[in-house]
Amino acid sequence: MGLKEKIAKWWLSKKKEWILKSEDRKRGGKVRRDQKRKERREEILGAKWAMYSDLQDGWMLGDFRPSSEHVEELTGWRVITIKRMEEIYLHYRAWQNQEIRHPY
């Protein structure tokens, strides 16, 4: 292995680190990146909580009767993906949204 090949191999190993550091500098540093990630997690958790509590209120008031599969999934609502939570929510609340969109 020649000197040129050694330099090329070394550069490839350092290139990714250099790119990541420059991206961190552009976006405000590692602390800012972690803060943004925490804000996104809190926002998603808040949206999940809102959907879960609305579904729980609807069931308690008798608006609908949830299936046993959905009840099992909603028992661990914190670990469900936001997309799956939205699917379950729209399954039970789609008729209300249609009435709100089309008031005639």
| Residue 44 to residue 46: CA distance in whole angstroms | 5
The pLDDT assigned to 104 comes to: 39
| Residue 75 to residue 69: CA distance in whole angstroms | 10
**Is the distance from CB of 74 to CB of 67 less than 8 angstroms?**
no
| Residue 36 to residue 49: CA distance in whole angstroms | 20
Q: Where are the domains of the chain?
A: 31-101
Task: Answer yes or no: is pLDDT of 100 > 80.
Answer: no
The pLDDT assigned to 102 comes to: 40
The reported pTM is: 0.63
pLDDT digits (tens, 9 = 90+) for 20-50: 888 888 878 888 888 888 999 999 999 999 9
pLDDT digits (tens, 9 = 90+) for 60-88: 888 888 888 988 988 888 889 989 998 89
